[in-house]
């Protein structure tokens, strides 16, 4: 997690066109909001979550993160910046998504090393031995997919469709990964897991933005 945030920090500050002061406000605001959001969604969705965890300091400072909770909270934080007259440029949004993709990929490698977010049992040659069984390497699959997403974002460069590319690509990636997951901690909402429902929403959001010439969330330049 620390390595992912550290590398993401370097990527964001290398590419952003914000002043140092505004960039710091944006980055650390995202850090705090996404940290809290990931914890809150863990409490909402995880089958083993206990409301008493709210009073446990080790829960807030240790493991137990749900990525989508962090993403939702971060997006809400970005939207709220408009009320403080801090508009983000296309290059800044692009640099955030690029940093997020690479940092998230490193975080998934951490999941593999920690043994969380593991896959279902498999006889396929790519199986990794975790928790007494050979399992789908869901953490590695997602990490590779995120690096591909980062490469696509870097290749296309800043533009109004950065959100579109990220939403659609990661939405489909996560749906596929969830199909191979074997841990039950994330819970089930009807036919799909919470992450699959959110992924479907991301895909529809991306498709809805596909025909837009520009996003009103940030400046043209």
Tokens for 144?
């590779």
CB 136 within 8 A of CB 124: yes
Residues 6+ apart with CB under 8 A from 20: none
**Gap between the Cα atoms of 101 and 58, Å rounded:** 27
pLDDT at 212: 60
Residue 57 has pLDDT above 80, yes or no: no
Tokens for 41?
């969604």
Q: Model confidence at 48, in pLDDT bands (50, 70, 90)?
A: low
Of the listed ranges 19-23, 26-30, 136-140, 181-185, the least confidently predicted one is: 181-185
Residue 160 has pLDDT above 90, yes or no: no
Residue 47 class from Cβ within 10 Å (0-12 exposed, 13-18 middle, 19+ buried)?
exposed
Q: Can you tell me which residue has the tokens 């043994």?
A: 115
pLDDT at 89: 87
**Gap between the Cα atoms of 199 and 175, Å rounded:** 6
Residues 6+ apart with CB under 8 A from 113: none
pLDDT at 101: 98
The answer to pTM > 0.95 is no
pLDDT at 50: 66
- The residue with greater pLDDT, 122 or 61, is 122
pLDDT at 61: 79
Query: How many CB atoms are located within 10 Å of the residue 94 CB?
Result: 26
pLDDT at 20: 92
pLDDT at 191: 83
pLDDT at 213: 46
Mean pLDDT across 21-44: 92
Mean pLDDT across 159-169: 90
Transcribe 55-78 into DSSP letters: G-HHHHHSS---HHHHHHHHHHHH
pLDDT at 121: 95
Residues 6+ apart with CB under 8 A from 168: 202, 203, 206, 207
pLDDT at 51: 66
189: three-class secondary structure by DSSP = strand
pLDDT at 220: 47
- The residue with greater pLDDT, 208 or 9, is 9
């Amino acid at each position: 997690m620390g390595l992912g945030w550290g590398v993401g920090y370097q990527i964001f500050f290398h590419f952003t066109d914000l002043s140092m002061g505004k960039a710091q406000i944006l980055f650390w605001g995202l850090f705090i909001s996404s940290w809290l959001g990931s914890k809150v969604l863990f409490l909402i969705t995880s089958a083993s979550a206990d409301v008493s965890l709210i009073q446990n300091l080790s829960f807030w400072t240790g493991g137990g993160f749900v990525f989508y909770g962090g993403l939702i909270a971060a997006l809400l934080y970005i939207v709220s910046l408009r009320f403080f007259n801090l508009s983000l440029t296309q290059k800044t949004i692009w640099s955030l998504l690029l940093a997020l993709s690479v940092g998230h990929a490193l975080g998934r490698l951490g999941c593999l090393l920690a043994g969380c977010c593991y896959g279902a049992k498999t006889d396929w040659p790519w199986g990794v031995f975790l928790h007494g069984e050979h399992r789908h390497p869901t953490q590695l699959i997602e990490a590779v997919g995120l690096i591909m997403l980062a490469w696509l974002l870097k290749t296309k460069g800043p533009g109004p469709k950065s959100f579109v590319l990220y939403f659609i690509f990661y939405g489909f990636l996560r749906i596929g990964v969830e199909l191979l997951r074997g841990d039950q901690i994330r819970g089930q909402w009807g036919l799909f897991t919470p992450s699959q429902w959110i992924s479907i929403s991301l895909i529809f959001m991306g498709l809805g933005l596909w025909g837009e010439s520009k996003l009103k969330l940030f400046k043209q330049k």
